[in-house]
Homo-oligomer: A and B are copies of this chain.
């Protein structure tokens, strides 16, 4: 009995001490970057009350937080996270929990974003120590939010005696990217490894992602949303991964026309879809994918005649040709996405440069 009392007292003391060491601020007091347009809900990417026409799944997807990041300064030696999630949207077999519901922290060192930590809570409702035992120098932090979860709230805990404050957006210009699960970041190990976020850190250019797994199909209501992003310096599209060849032929020109009406000169850069490794032996799949790529080529040739400042990046294979990069026959692993970023970046930069984006 005495022993139990002692253990209880010790546990209580430890708990008090642990919580006394940290203070929490709501993430909305920091700077949340990555949204193409503001939304009333802090962690939704698109205001699905204002913008209509999205399917239920699309609504769920654009309420997830891929590409959103908190930027802040702190001298805390430890950073704790207290996330509250809505019900889970996506649990694909190729995506680990660190990417789907976890957080990915970078800290600026010598001008570069250096990986600090990436973790998911051990279970819903638990706090998460994303990093600890650092020195107490002033640090600039870039914290990517989960790729496939809808956050209801987020609090950030720091040492009780440390400060934490919002930081200005460290990235330049504004590039909106719309795409499939590839762009959303399926099968990445963590949110910061989606290819747009890799290119963002590497170039310093600001990417706002409205990617939507399985649902980047040249829909008119996505075009309507994009028409309202008047301050975008460029738009990038991974728009040939989800639609089939027929859909590409039917929808591409009207999709571009719709955007062009509202945004007469914004550079619109379309990127060819990648080779899918399922096609190595599945003959029907291989043909179907080849048909899509061919339709994209033909329609883009037509689009580039019809519209100014429309571009097509059609590199042979952004993820390499050694057939080692696939997680599940469709989606690349980090190895594939890393190559994708490395191969796409110079192609994008060529176009950006033409338009003064540098």
A329 within 8 A of B: yes
Q: Answer whether A327 and B189 are a contact pair too, CB < 8 Å, given A93-B96, A93-B119.
A: yes
Contact of A282 among B92, B95, B134, B193 (CB under 8 A): B134
- Give bound CA distance, A283 to B78, whole Å: 11
Could you tell me if A333 and B281 are in contact, using CB atoms closer than 8 angstroms? no
A306 within 8 A of B: no
Stretch at the interface among A82-90, A110-118, A263-271, A345-353: A110-118
Chain B residues contacting A119 (CB-CB under 8 Å) are 93, 328-329
Contact of A98 among B118, B198, B328 (CB under 8 A): B328
Give the shortest distance, in Å, between A133 (CB) and chain B (any CB).
4
Contact of A118 among B96, B189, B198, B326 (CB under 8 A): B326
Give the shortest distance, in Å, between A173 (CB) and chain B (any CB).
23
Could you tell me if A193 and B102 are in contact, using CB atoms closer than 8 angstroms? no
Could you tell me if B118 and A328 are in contact, using CB atoms closer than 8 angstroms? yes
User: Which 6 pairs, one residue from A and one from B, show the smallest C-beta to C-beta distance?
Assistant: A333-B334, A189-B327, A189-B333, A93-B97, A93-B120, A133-B284
A-B contact pairs, 30 of them (CB 8 A): A92-B96, A93-B96, A93-B97, A93-B119, A93-B120, A94-B96, A94-B97, A96-B96, A115-B324, A115-B329, A116-B280, A117-B278, A117-B281, A117-B282, A117-B328, A118-B327, A118-B328, A118-B329, A132-B282, A133-B285, A134-B282, A189-B326, A189-B327, A189-B334, A190-B327, A324-B338, A333-B335, A334-B334, A334-B336, A335-B335
